[in-house]
Amino acid sequence: MGNLNRMLKYTTKYYGYIIVSLLSMLIQVAVGFVVPYLMIRIIDDAIPNNDTTLLITTSLVMLGVALLGLLTGLINNYTSQYVSQYASADLRLDLFKKIQSLSFINIDHFKTSRLITSATNDIVRIQQFYQMLLRIIVRAPLMIGMGLFLSLGTSVELSNIFFFSMPVLIISIVVIMIVAFPRYAKVQKTVDGINKVVLETANAPRVIKSFVSIDHENKKFEKANETFRVTNTSANKIMAFADPIIMFIFNASIAGIIFLGAYFLDKGSLMNTTTNLPQVGVLIAFNNYSMQILFGLMMFAMMMIFISRAAVSAKRISEIFDEKVDLTSKIDAVKDIELTGTIEFKNVSFGYGNDGARVLNNISFKVNSGETIGIIGSTGSGKSSLIHLIPRLYDVSEGEVYVNNIDVKDIELETLRSQISVVTQTATIFSGSIGTNIVQGKKGATYSDIVNAGENAAANEFIEEYDDIYNHEIQQKGSNLSGGQKQRLSLARAFIRKPKILILDDSTSAVDAKSEEKIIESINKLSKEMTTLVISQKISTIKSMDKIIVLDNKGNLDGFANHTDLLKSSKVYQEIALSQIGNGGGLDA
């Protein structure tokens, strides 16, 4: 329950609505018990004595009480909806902010599908819990308590039925809860499985269609879907059994009350001393009170099932909130600093996870401000891992990375990352316009900034073909753009920031040779104002750069020099150059 209590703090700011909701619910519950009481006066007093005045008066009071119940019911429904919607929205926002703060390692720990499920399905469970809290959780004990009090006050004899009905109902509820809780916990995990398959499929439609693997993906989803169905059916079987059991107890209680009523009438215990007639009104009122009690217990059972499901979701959400972000800024981190672009690696080693194999081993080099640096190596040599360490997307396992002769761990993350632009090989494009995608790289960018960034990225060539130019709408993931267009657009987003350090991770791989040449020219023109690191598979792209970092397939530094010197000193570089003769690699200096 500790996790649910944690979720309740999101409702406290709406305490005014909560108070109104609870008061209206209290009145609504009271109305439910006043009506049967008035029935006693009508049936046992007004009708037997032909008291028309009492009958009309009591009927009007009953109508007024019913209208009051209607009004308070509407108020309770509105306020409970209001609190549940707004509180869950606040919770969802905080959860999203927490997910945004997670590092790559944290996200790898949870998996993307789990984070999606928690931000959607689990939040909905908590929203339902908020609503149930104000409509049922407090109502159920009130109905049970008031019902027992009024039932005993109406007829002690008939109250003997509770010795049989309540223990049976309570035991049934307890058994249901013991069996249901672990099953609902499994249901949420199977939702993660479905989201995982859907996410993977939605992210790779071209690969799936190209390799004609639709049937394979369908089978994967069918398996995940079947697992969810079986698990969810297993959990819902509890409710399938619970409803008939509870209805049986209800109907048996009604039969029991009638049986006891007949028994005590026969003994003369339920007779009106004035009219010497059976107290039928008392019997009806007691039946209504007992139904209120049993209905309250049934609501309590439903409430416990909702709570059990909400507790599972609250636990999953709390696990995300409690996840310690491994990449944070120090309290005394350097904030007010302008990067010069100098970068130094000192004996850096890196591996993914505590037990992961080393991707980089004892790397040391120094880059001066304004230099253009190429990075090359075979697939899996650790090129991308190396550049991820500069903006602290990951932390080194051993050694230090320095920027401005300051360890990157000592610089505030926002200060560090705001002066570095990273363009990945797989371009990430967001839904919106071309302009909104570009200005994402710089707050307060002017139209002139957008045009210049597009020009430097060789993107204006295709942008200016659209009638609405930078207002042209981009579909989700840039699906209405080619691979090269997406890369150029992501380059424009990086250029508009005018970063002190620009990192390109093979980000011109889908660009044609002419556009790539223009981009390299732009980089050379802007290089005086920034340090540039370019990962490439092609020597032709990087051979004119100031220096080139060469990594072997074990993550070791095989060379750090210019193109001419590397052809003499680096075996790995020589092999790459030889393999690219005739394809733009060339051995010429």
Q: What is the DSSP string of 92-157?
A: HHHHHHHHHH--HHHHHHH-HHHHHHIIIIIHHHHHHHHHHIIIIITHHHHHHHHHHHHHHHH-TT
Highest-pLDDT range among 72-76, 276-280, 474-478, 517-521: 72-76
**Which residue did the predictor score with more confidence, 433 or 158?**
433
Return the structure tokens found at 114: 């789990």
pLDDT of residue 582: 53
Q: Is the pLDDT of residue 300 over 70?
A: yes
Residue 572 in tokens: 């790995």
pLDDT at 210: 63
Are residues 277 and 265 in contact, defined by beta-carbon separation less than 8 angstroms? no
Are 470 and 449 in contact by the 8 Å Cβ rule? The answer is no
Residues 6+ apart with CB under 8 A from 87: 10, 11, 14, 127, 130
pLDDT score of 584: 47
| φ/ψ (deg, to 5) at 278 | -60, 140
Task: Please state which of the four CATH numbers 1.20.1560.10, 3.30.750.24, 3.40.50.1220, 3.30.230.10 is assigned to the domain occupying 2-322.
Answer: 1.20.1560.10
Residue 400's pLDDT band (boundaries 50, 70, 90)?
A: very high
For residue 539, the number of C-alpha atoms closer than 13 Å in the C-beta half-sphere is 25
The string of DSSP codes covering 220-288 is HHHHHHHHHHHHHHHHHHHHHHHHHHHHHHHHHHHHHHHHHHHHHHHHTTTB-TTT--B-HHHHHHHHH
Residue 349 has pLDDT above 70, yes or no: yes
Across residues 1-28, what is the average pLDDT?
87
In whole angstroms, what is the distance from residue 129 CA to residue 310 CA?
A: 6
Q: What is the Cβ-side half-sphere exposure of residue 113, based on CA atoms within 13 angstroms?
A: 17
pTM above 0.75, yes or no: no
Res 175 pLDDT > 80: no
Least confident interval from 368-372, 441-445, 525-529:
525-529
**Assigned token pair, 574:** 């020589």
| pLDDT (tens digit per residue) in 243-277 | 777 777 777 777 777 777 777 766 666 555 555 55
The sign of the dihedral angle between the CA atoms of 495, 499, 501, 503 is: negative
The answer to whether 485 and 459 have CB atoms below 8 angstroms apart is yes
Rank 185-189, 226-230, 322-326, 395-399 by mean pLDDT and report only the highest: 395-399
> pLDDT-based confidence at 344, cuts 50/70/90?
very high
Residue 346 has pLDDT above 90, yes or no: yes
Question: In whole angstroms, what is the distance from residue 502 CA to residue 412 CA?
Answer: 18
Q: Would you say residue 225 has pLDDT above 60?
A: yes
Confidence of residue 33 (pLDDT cuts 50, 70, 90): confident
Gap between the terminal Cα atoms of the chain: 70
pLDDT in tens, 410-463: 998 888 888 888 887 777 788 788 888 888 777 778 888 888 888 887 888 888
**Mean pLDDT, rounded, of the chain:** 80
Q: What are phi and psi of 580, to 5 degrees?
A: -105, 5
Lowest mean pLDDT segment, chosen from 20-29, 517-526, 571-580: 517-526
Strands, E, within 315-440: which ranges? 343-351, 358-367, 372-377, 398-403, 406-407, 420-423, 432-433
Highest mean pLDDT among 2-6, 96-100, 323-327: 96-100
The pLDDT value given to residue 87: 92
Give the residue extent of every domain in the chain. 2-322, 332-419+503-510+531-589
Question: Of residues 237 and 96, which shows the higher confidence score?
Answer: 96
pLDDT digits (tens, 9 = 90+) for 41-82: 776 666 667 778 878 888 888 888 889 989 988 998 899 999
The residue among 50, 36, 123 whose CA lies nearest residue 87 is 123
The pLDDT value recorded for residue 364 is 92
Average confidence (pLDDT) over 342-348: 92
CATH architecture under which domain 332-419+503-510+531-589 falls: 3-Layer(aba) Sandwich (3.40)
